Structure 1
């Protein structure tokens, strides 16, 4: 039967850092992350008109058609080409990376329409849930599936990392891993410089097949009786700027940075063991350790990780018996709190029944100007 191909739809969840931010940006650095149940969705359809790739997004001003020129996409007829490139940089990089893999197999240039919709923003404001990573993962998965590529989760992650690192090799890729595998994960970042060099020497297909220095990922089991609460400070932050600030003010190898990286390694290892053993008190203590080590690094280097709102967020959680910290680079965006609610009848991590502690925490956050976000762990990742 003839007719148009059905749309290919893939979605990817956002993420939050639980422990290890700033340490994980170093090759082989460790972190724990959790995927959250807000997603970015990528929908690929046959091209309605014209060659190339038509990109539309609820985060961009208007749909724009992009034409292929020597393996790269260029916007055609955009009113502000520079702004268009900024708005869609991760989407374009993801499409180009899949196209490189197809070209290595003798496949023609992609022609398609791609639409992006996001629940990681509200009214154009980001919450710090890893939108760049989620849109990269969703785009890779949707475009690859449309092209008929059968990829494993790790191959999708690797394509997304190649796309993301081509834009900024400082990013750890932890957001990409959380968006790919979902749930709670223990992650070690690959050496992005080595990975990009591998892709240049061996091609994208070679980079998908060979071992990546430093990289490791595994799922962690949810801890029964533990609730995840997320608060948004109302102030967006730039992870890239804060990470760059770490390297400017505290270069790799300084005592403060060495101490933090070693301490974060210990915290992540102990926290992962607590997840695997279902040890609620032990995990709460590691979250407190992670907060203290971040504060120590912040004091030594002057990054501005702890804003007044993030400090209030943490103190409110401690006041009701929980443990809290900034999630990610800090300086704004979100903080997380973990609460032991087993006494209230909770049976599954992140899906707690109504709890007086949670109610009190949300009230304290609201009084401090912190907005509680209705988020839960997304146990599924980006699946084919």
Structure 2
């Protein structure tokens, strides 16, 4: 029996801009996991089982008279994509394919099955890839696991940055620069997987960040799940119609993340907090111009309360619900902040940062 796990994640800053090639974001891996267990099947039929996903709903829409199923919020789509890609690699490495039972156990949802917004699709992809690589005795590095999982995840979602995949693979706090997904799509058609995994990917950079000793990360959940894919789709429409405004947002976001990374490098909490507030304002401007509801009323309340107690707060990820993050001095008494959140209907998630191995041992350098 093989067991592998991958942590969930939250975006700290850089949302939406990071979906464009080479633009940065900051993410953190958290100590809630998706676990994938694999064992040889008895007979010719294997199973994919998940207690959490047994009642999973599938979204669909009309395209003319056709019914189009949206698989991007269906976790089984990512599991199947991870299996397909990893087994393609295993076969290229001359491993005989087997029949097995695969079980998924998720901590990234609450007891009623609602998502916290911790990147469950990325974590389930990474956990499945990790488990299958071990099952097929494939000696892979973190970089190779990231690339296999990124290929699988992108084949389903089609419009993400893959930053959540990076956080699940490398752990800790990371600065992530998105790679050229169009390049990947083109190379995928003509190159073998082993060759593709050895190549540098254009614009990709993943850098571990050291955290100021006085920084405490506090996470609040609004109780309303959101669909990242559909929100990103809406921003893509704004991008097409208002290219100059969108480009200005991108450049402002890039400068903000650059300053924030410098705050991590110098251990300056004040700089990090200032840039979290700046990033919140940039996202608010994007929301007003695009008509996309990024900061819901409850997320706004989450931020307002946190600011009253000296924290720098913003929505995490695509917004529209899910979580908000607060960077606050670790010496601050949080009891009154927690009471105010509770009164507002905001749940604090008792999460901590999850590190995977030696964070200083990896750093995918940018390529052009």
Q: If the length of structure 1 is used for normalisation, what is the TM-score?
A: 0.86
Cα distance in 2 for residues equivalent to 1:189 and 1:87: 23
Task: Look up the SS of the partner of 1:330 in the other structure.
Answer: coil
Cα distance in 2 for residues equivalent to 1:129 and 1:110: 32
Deviation for aligned residue 1:280: 0.8
Cα distance in 2 for residues equivalent to 1:15 and 1:333: 12
Q: What is the alpha-carbon root mean square deviation over aligned residues?
A: 2.0
Task: Write the mapping of 1:363-382 to structure 2, written as runs, cut at 5 A.
Answer: 363-380=339-356
Q: Is the 8 A contact 1:14 1:134 kept in 2?
A: yes
Distance 1:382 1:111, change over 3 A: farther
Task: Write the mapping of 1:10-89 to structure 2, written as runs, cut at 5 A.
Answer: 10-51=4-45, 53-61=46-54, 86-89=74-77
Task: Look up the SS of the partner of 2:124 in the other structure.
Answer: helix
Cα distance in 2 for residues equivalent to 1:93 and 1:99: 10
Task: Write the mapping of 1:148-297 to structure 2, written as runs, cut at 5 A.
Answer: 148-251=137-240, 254-297=243-286
Query: How many residues are paired up?
Result: 344
Match of 1:94 among 63, 75, 82: 82
Deviation for aligned residue 1:252: 7.5
Task: Look up the SS of the partner of 2:240 in the other structure.
Answer: coil
Runs of 5+ in structure 1 lacking a partner? 1-6, 63-80, 345-354
Task: Look up the SS of the partner of 1:230 in the other structure.
Answer: strand
Match of 1:103 in 2: 91
Q: Is the 8 A contact 1:37 1:375 kept in 2?
A: yes
Q: Is the 8 A contact 1:134 1:179 kept in 2?
A: yes
Q: Which digits, 9 at most, give the CA deviation of each residue in 1:80-106, with x for residues without a partner?
A: x999x9441111110110111122233
Cα distance in 2 for residues equivalent to 1:111 and 1:193: 33
Match of 2:60 in 1: none
Cα distance in 2 for residues equivalent to 1:255 and 1:161: 30
Cα distance in 1 for residues equivalent to 2:84 and 2:19: 24
Q: Is the 8 A contact 1:165 1:196 kept in 2?
A: no
Q: Which digits, 9 at most, give the CA deviation of each residue in 1:1-59, with x for residues without a partner?
A: xxxxxx211111100000101000011121000001101011111213324x4211123
Match of 1:116 among 91, 96, 104: 104
Match of 2:319 in 1: 330
Runs of 5+ in structure 2 lacking a partner? 56-68, 360-368
Match of 1:129 in 2: 118
Distance 1:215 1:253, change over 3 A: farther
Instruction: Judge which range, 309-318 or 254-263, deviates more.
Output: 254-263
Deviation for aligned residue 1:210: 0.9
Give yes or no for the alignment of 1:362 onto 2:338: yes
Cα distance in 1 for residues equivalent to 2:225 and 2:265: 33
Match of 2:62 in 1: none
Q: Which digits, 9 at most, give the CA deviation of each residue in 1:163-194, with x for residues without a partner?
A: 01111221110000000000000001111121
